[in-house]
């Protein structure tokens, strides 16, 4: 990394940080990640650009959904009144320029051209929108909610409050909060400490694991109870094979090479999550059908409805914990640099 670029990133962090069907084998002590990851020169700028683009493409629709939440769902102003700062913070200026490349993809550029600054600003924005659902007693629904209409200024939460807060949090959780530990590695990928790299890898792994643990039971129900004619299962076989891919994470806990074990599991999970996604052209085109004369046919209204239901379950590329290979390559190179230092 050029010293000028590294110094700029370090300065910004110091000033602003306040807070397919085939998958690679699971890691073991002899795993060779070079056989899977393409060895290009690491580009910090490319990594930061990817992280910012993915984050912005998740934040913009979430802000729109939260505004709709306040208008149409929180129509008694329960959440709006109880947590006024979260409502007011929706209007915060994130400072970006939006450029369109068709109807479904947008490119975002920070006003100052500083992607790292933009990522950290976005993180602060998302944290400012959080409200808590957890109670403080034995019952998970226990707790209070601010209410200026009561004498004490608060009251016990009821089922309506809890449902509204859950809906709000479900929307907000679709936005991509970038790991601060990952940003530290990006800043120092060529001289990162083993502990810092391990913390970043744990953040990535936990995010992937939480996502997969949440959606896999839902997909099981979808394939068994909704896609009863195997339209999605056969029409998008890569997605179905990704659903079937075994996930044994025991290597993380039974190895002397913890960093490469994390990398291997992260790569496997990344492949699964990417392959769970299906085509965005849900309203057009054809679908694979072995029973059809040419193996494909025009999509029907039923196909389109099933596709939309499936996509609601898995989310989209921007809200899912996916990484592109600029990030994976940087993580891999960081691990190699640590290994080389240990050998010498």
Rounded CA-CA distance 237/198 in Å is 34
Which H/E stretch holds residue 236? none
SS (H, E, C) 103-144: CCCEEEEECCCCHHHHHHHHHHHHHHCCCCCCCCCCCCCCCE
- Within 139-290, residue ranges assigned H as helices are 159-172, 180-187, 194-221, 231-235, 237-244, 250-253, 258-276
Q: What is the pTM of this model?
A: 0.82
User: What pLDDT is stored for residue 142 in this prediction?
Assistant: 61
Percent of the chain at pLDDT exceeding 90: 62
Backbone φ and ψ of 244, nearest 5°: -85, -10
SS3 149: coil
Q: What is the pLDDT of residues 84-109, one digit of tens each?
A: 999 999 999 999 998 876 656 678 99
State pLDDT tens for residues 239-255: 999 999 999 998 888 77
Decide if pLDDT at 33 tops 90: no
Residue 10 has pLDDT above 60, yes or no: no
Looking at per-residue pLDDT, the higher value among 63 and 337 belongs to 63
Q: Is the pLDDT of residue 13 over 60?
A: no
Q: What is the pLDDT of residue 165?
A: 93
Say yes or no to pLDDT of 62 above 90: yes
Distance CA 138, CA 209 (A): 27
Q: Which one has a higher pLDDT value, 193 or 294?
A: 193
3 state SS of 234:
helix
pLDDT tens digit sequence for 225-234: 999 999 999 9
Query: Is pLDDT above 70 for 193?
Result: yes
């Amino acid at each position: 990394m050029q010293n000028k670029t590294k110094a700029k990133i370090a300065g910004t962090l110091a000033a602003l940080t306040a807070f397919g069907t085939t998958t690679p084998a699971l890691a073991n002590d002899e795993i060779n990640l070079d056989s899977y990851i393409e060895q290009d020169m690491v580009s910090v700028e490319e990594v930061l650009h990817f992280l910012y683009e993915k984050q912005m493409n998740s934040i913009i629709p979430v802000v729109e959904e939260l505004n709709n939440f306040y208008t149409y769902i929180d129509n008694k102003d329960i959440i709006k009144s109880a947590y006024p700062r979260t409502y007011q913070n929706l209007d915060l200026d994130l400072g970006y320029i939006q450029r369109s490349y068709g109807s479904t993809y947008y490119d975002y550029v920070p006003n100052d051209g500083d992607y790292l600054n933009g990522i950290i600003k976005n993180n602060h924005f998302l944290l400012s929108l959080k409200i808590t659902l957890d109670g403080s007693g034995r019952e998970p629904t226990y707790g209070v909610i601010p209410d200026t209409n009561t004498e004490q200024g608060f009251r016990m939460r009821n089922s309506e409050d809890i449902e509204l807060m859950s809906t709000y949090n479900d929307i907000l959780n679709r936005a991509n909060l970038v790991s601060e530990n990952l940003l530290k590695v990006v800043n120092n990928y060529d001289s990162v400490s083993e502990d810092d790299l391990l913390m970043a890898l744990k953040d990535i792994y936990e995010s992937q694991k939480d996502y997969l643990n949440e959606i896999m039971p839902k997909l099981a129900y979808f394939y068994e109870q909704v896609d009863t004619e195997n339209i999605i299962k056969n029409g998008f076989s890569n997605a179905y094979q990704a659903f079937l891919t075994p996930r044994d994470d025991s290597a993380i806990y039974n190895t002397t090479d913890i960093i490469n074990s994390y990398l291997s599991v992260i790569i496997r999970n990344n492949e699964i999550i990417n392959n769970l996604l299906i085509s965005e052209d849900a309203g057009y085109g054809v679908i694979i059908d072995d029973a059809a004369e040419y193996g494909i046919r025009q999509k029907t209204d039923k196909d389109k409805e099933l596709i939309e239901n499936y996509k609601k379950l898995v989310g989209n590329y921007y809200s899912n914990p996916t990484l592109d290979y600029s990030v994976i390559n940087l993580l891999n190179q960081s691990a190699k640099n640590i290994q080389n230092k240990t050998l010498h």
